[in-house]
Amino acid sequence: HNSIFYYNRSKMPPKSKVKKSISKPKKTGPKGMIQSLPSGLVLTDLIKNTWKLGPKIGQGGFGFIYSGAQMTSKNVSHASNSEYVIKVEPHANGPLYGEIAFYQRVAKVEYIDEWLKSKEKMFVGIPRYIATGSFDYDSIKYRFLVMERFGTDIEKVFKQCNMKFPEKTVCSLALRIIEALEYIHSKEYVHADIKSSNLMLGWKKSTEKQVYLLDYGLAYRYAPDGKHVMYKEDPKRKHDGTIEYTSRDAHRGCAPSRKGDLEILGYCMVQWLCSRLPWEDNLKDKNFVMEEKIKYMNDIPSFIKKCFPNEKPVYLQDYLKIIANMKYDEQPDYQKIKDLFVAALKKLNIVDDGVSIQLPIAISAQKKRQSMTEDKSPNKKKKISDDSKDVAEIKSVARLARSPLKDNNDFKKTKAYKRKLATDSSPADPACLTYDSHLPINQNDISSLKHSDLFTISGHTVTRKPVLENMTRKPIVKETYKMRNKEQTDLNGAEKRVNLRPRKRNVPTRDFGQSP
């Protein structure tokens, strides 16, 4: 029996391996974020205040960014209704956790106010800490950070200015950023990722010329026990930060420092003034970028000459020399550095107010135009007065009356002309539009006077008033336009067909001669 069983088993066909398809949820966002959270979700922070989540307005490496409101009864169905933003990330992620720790240790309102009072200043561009907390949704645990809302970032402004800022903008930006760095350095932190996309203008009208330093995901505590960390090159940390701007020490793998923050700002200012850094052509080769920075920072005059062949900004050259001569753990002389840019602004006849930045003229005018044309309620339609409608109708009639009759011999040979003959074989519509041009049609006349002074409108007939009798006359032309059959009749009685583009309608049309 055993042999028979063995024989049958050997003759059995092999089992077909069926691969079980396991449906995995598609990731639509950052790590751990399977889907965006629903608008209207209520969150509770650490001190039991409630926040309502609005629509998603962006995302980062940590998670999603939503608009938000403090009161649960506040309507946040539209992003323009909220004064706050709420950053959300899963607990499995880490960047937002570090940023929350920074805000709790550095950016509380009482800490900032105390520093401003001690320095006799009115403003520092650090976002205030508002609230944080955790919540569960769909079996996933999240953390969140509530922040004040900001406007556009400097990167967008830079691109709108064709990748070049005027000196007044760069100097005023430098003053505001150095003051922000001075504050966070006093709290034993460094930023380590200063760049134009992390600099944002205020959202409110009162703060639209103030700049804030954001994104503290790479913020580093350089003196956790009151003493600066030692200089140590770690191969695992080489080239940390944004490759275009990161410091030479960060390229070597050292921990971020105050000197490194100011060096990063120096590279940003060079780019803002000359549009491009010398090493931007080969950013994929990080060692090449590091070597280029070392070479140019060891010979700053050649660095400035390379970027500014015509007129060199002396204040920027002096700034880079100060940074190049600093030690790794040295405390910067912030006032000496700021004096360079205050003096540069005075040469431009600009006095720094300690609060705002000098936006480019083009951007300032654009923001003014946007504020003038901004519609606070998005669903509200603009009202058009009857007078403006009449003037627009008169202009279109006058434009049509001035257009010459076309010779359509070539058009008559086409198939479109034959189809047009078939569709136009119906009797002419008696309703027509008549323009009586006893005086010349001048566009300036129409735009400079009211329609009531120029024309009398009666049904489909538009007749010019005799108020402009003293103007230069042209020969009387009387033209009749058959709007449905596209026919034109001149004084000699000859009819010519003109291929006019039919007007599109959003609703089905019907012949009004028929019964409904």
Binding residues for ATP: 87
Q: Which two tokens stand for residue 498?
A: 């003109």
> What Cα–Cα distance (Å) separates residue 253 from each residue in 221, 268, 287, 332?
16, 21, 12, 21
SS3 call for 479: strand
397 phi and psi, to 5 degrees?
-65, -45
Instruction: Kindly state the helix (H) or strand (E) to which residue 106 belongs, with its residue range.
Output: helix 95-106
C-alpha to C-alpha distance for 9 and 207, rounded to whole angstroms: 83
Q: Return the DSSP state at 468.
A: G
Q: What is the 3-state secondary structure (H, E, C) of 50-81?
A: EEEEEEEEEECCCCEEEEEECCCCCCCCCHHH
DSSP state at residue 506: S
Distance separating alpha carbons of residues 454 and 458, to the nearest angstrom: 13
Residue 87 contacts residue 118 (beta carbons within 8 Å): no
CA distance 105 to 494: 88
**Side-chain half-sphere exposure of 150, counting CA atoms within 13 A:** 24
Q: Write out the two tokens for 164.
A: 């070049």
| Dihedral angle over CA of 212, 66, 64, 200, nearest 10 | -10
Number of H helices, E strands in the chain: 16, 17
Spatial CB neighbours of 14, under 8 Å, sequence gap ≥ 6: none
Residues in CB range of 95: below 8 A, 6 or more apart? 60, 61, 62, 89, 217
Give the annotated binding-site residues.
87
The alpha helices in 187-257, defined as continuous H runs, are 248-252
* Active site (annotated) includes residue 299: no
Whether the CA torsion 375, 376, 382, 388 is positive or negative: it is negative
Report d(CA 128, CA 222) in Å as an integer: 21
Are 358 and 351 contacting, i.e. CB atoms less than 8 angstroms apart?
A: no
Closest CA to 53 of 131, 108, 106: 131
Catalytic annotation, pick one of 193, 215, 240, 261 = 193
Active-site residue numbers? 193
